[in-house]
C-alpha cells in the first residue's frame, strides 16, 4: 500500500501485482532500453524579462514573461517562459510544468487547458511553464529544430528531451527573484507526466515529482495488462523513445525493468501519482500497482497516490491533491 492514498474504487482494491523484476534498477538501464541517454551540456546563458504584471489574480500574484537562452553544442535554444508567483510570500517554492497549448492557453484557454493559478498561488506555490514543443517538436519527422538536433551523436527520445527541458526550466527559476528551487516540484500530465518522472529520476533538485495520467512508459506497469502497450505507443509515437525500444512490442516480459523501479529510483525524494478512474488508455490500475510495488523503497509519506472520477485530463482536483501531498 502507498504511504499516502485516497479512497480507492473496488477494481483497484481487487487488483494484484503481476510478476515483476525485483530489486533496484539503475538509470543507465532505463536510458539504454527506453528513453535514451540525456547528454551532458546545455547551460543557461541569458534570461531577459519581457514583461511583468503586478497584482494579477485579484492582487494575489505577479505574472512574468521571460526569454531564456540555453547554449548547446551545436547552437542555442530559446525558451519563452510564463511565471505566476505569489505577490506577498517570498521566496516561493516553484512548480515546473510544461504545457501543451502555449503559455497563454494555460491562463485563458478553455476549461480543459486553464490551470487553477489562483488556488496554486493560495497554496503558496509559484508556477513556471513553457510550451513543450519549444523544447522538442512532437513529431517523428520535425520540420523545426529542437534540442535533440543541437547535440551531436546522441540517441535520445523526445520524452527525454522534454525531461531535459524541465531541468533547464528549474535553472531559469533559480535565478528569478521571489522564487526558490528549494522544494521544487516537477509536474506533468500524459506524455509530459512521462517526462516529469524521467526528470525526477535524473535531477535530484526536484524534491517532489508528480505524474498525472502518464500511463505506458510513465507510471503504469508494462506487465499489467490494460490500456496502451509498447506496440501501440511505439507505432504511434516512435520519436518518443530510442528506436530499439520497439523490439519489446508484445514481449513486455522480456524487458529488464518495469516502471515501479523508475519510481523507486526517485527515492528518498517524494513521488505522487494521479489517475483518472475512467482513463482506460493510461491503465490507472497499473499506475496504482506501480506505486504499491515501489512503496517499500520510500519512507513514510514519501510516495502517494490519488484517483478521481473522470478521464484523461489534468484537473483542478489533481493540482490540489498534488500540492497537498507536497506540503504534507
Could you report the per-residue pLDDT of 9-34, keeping only the tens digit for each? 999 999 999 999 988 788 999 999 99
Name the percent of the chain in helix, strand, coil, to the closest 5: 35, 25, 40
- In this structure, are residues 207 and 325 in contact, taking their beta carbons and an 8 Å threshold? no
Q: What does the block give as the cell for 27?
A: 538509470
Query: How far, in Å, CA of 156 to CA of 81, rounded?
Result: 24
Q: How long is the chain?
A: 328
DSSP secondary structure code for residue 31 in this structure: I
- 73-87, 141-155, 278-292 — which is least confidently predicted? 141-155
Active site residue 190: yes
- The chain-wide mean pLDDT, for the chain, equals 95
Please tell me which residue in 25, 106, 167, 190 is annotated as part of the active site: 190
Query: How far, in Å, CA of 211 to CA of 213, rounded?
Result: 7
Which of the four pLDDT bands, split at 50, 70 and 90, describes residue 7?
confident
Q: What does the block give as the cell for 48?
A: 531577459
pLDDT tens digits, one per residue of 214-223: 999 999 999 9
Please give the helix or strand (H or E) that residue 65 lies within, else none: strand 61-72
Active site residue 211: no
pLDDT tens digits, one per residue of 153-174: 889 999 999 999 999 999 999 9
Q: What does the block give as the cell for 191?
A: 506524455
Please tell me which residue in 84, 189, 239, 312 is annotated as part of the active site: 312
pTM: 0.97
Residue among 142, 102, 122, 146 at smallest CA distance from 58: 122
Amino acid at each position: 500500500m502507498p504511504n499516502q492514498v485516497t479512497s480507492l474504487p473496488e477494481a483497484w482494491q481487487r487488483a494484484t501485482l503481476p510478476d515483476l523484476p525485483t530489486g533496484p534498477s539503475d538509470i543507465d538501464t532505463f536510458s539504454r532500453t527506453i528513453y535514451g541517454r540525456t547528454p551532458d551540456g546545455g547551460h543557461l546563458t541569458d534570461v531577459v524579462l519581457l514583461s511583468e504584471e503586478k497584482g494579477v489574480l485579484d492582487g494575489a500574484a505577479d505574472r512574468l514573461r521571460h526569454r531564456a537562452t540555453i547554449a548547446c553544442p551545436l547552437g542555442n535554444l530559446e525558451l519563452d517562459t510564463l511565471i505566476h508567483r505569489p505577490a506577498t510570500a517570498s521566496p516561493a517554492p516553484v512548480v515546473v510544468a510544461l504545457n501543451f497549448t502555449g503559455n497563454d492557453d494555460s491562463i485563458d484557454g478553455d476549461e480543459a487547458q486553464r490551470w487553477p493559478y489562483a488556488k496554486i498561488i493560495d497554496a503558496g506555490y509559484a508556477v513556471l511553464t513553457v510550451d513543450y514543443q519549444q523544447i522538442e517538436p512532437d513529431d517523428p519527422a520535425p520540420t523545426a529544430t529542437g534540442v535533440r538536433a543541437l547535440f551531436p551523436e546522441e540517441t535520445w527520445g523526445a520524452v527525454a528531451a522534454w525531461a531535459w527541458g524541465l531541468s533547464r526550466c528549474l535553472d531559469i527559476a533559480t535565478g528569478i527573484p521571489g522564487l526558490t528551487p528549494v522544494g521544487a516540484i516537477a509536474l506533468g500530465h500524459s506524455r509530459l507526466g512521462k517526462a516529469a518522472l524521467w526528470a525526477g529520476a535524473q535531477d535530484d533538485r526536484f524534491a517532489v515529482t508528480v505524474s498525472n495520467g502518464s500511463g505506458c512508459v510513465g507510471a503504469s506497469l508494462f506487465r499489467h495488462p490494460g490500456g496502451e502497450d509498447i506496440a501501440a505507443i511505439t507505432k504511434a509515437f516512435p520519436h518518443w523513445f530510442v528506436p530499439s525500444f520497439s523490439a519489446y512490442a508484445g514481449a513486455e516480459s522480456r524487458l529488464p525493468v518495469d516502471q515501479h523501479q523508475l519510481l523507486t529510483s526517485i527515492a528518498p525524494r517524494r513521488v505522487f501519482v494521479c489517475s483518472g478512474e475512467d482513463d482506460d488508455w493510461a491503465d490507472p490500475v497499473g499506475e496504482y500497482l506501480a506505486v504499491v510495488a515501489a512503496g517499500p523503497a520510500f519512507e513514510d509519506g514519501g510516495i502517494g497516490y490519488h484517483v478521481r472520477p473522470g478521464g484523461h485530463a489534468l484537473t483542478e482536483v489533481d493540482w490540489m491533491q498534488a500540492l497537498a501531498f507536497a506540503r504534507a
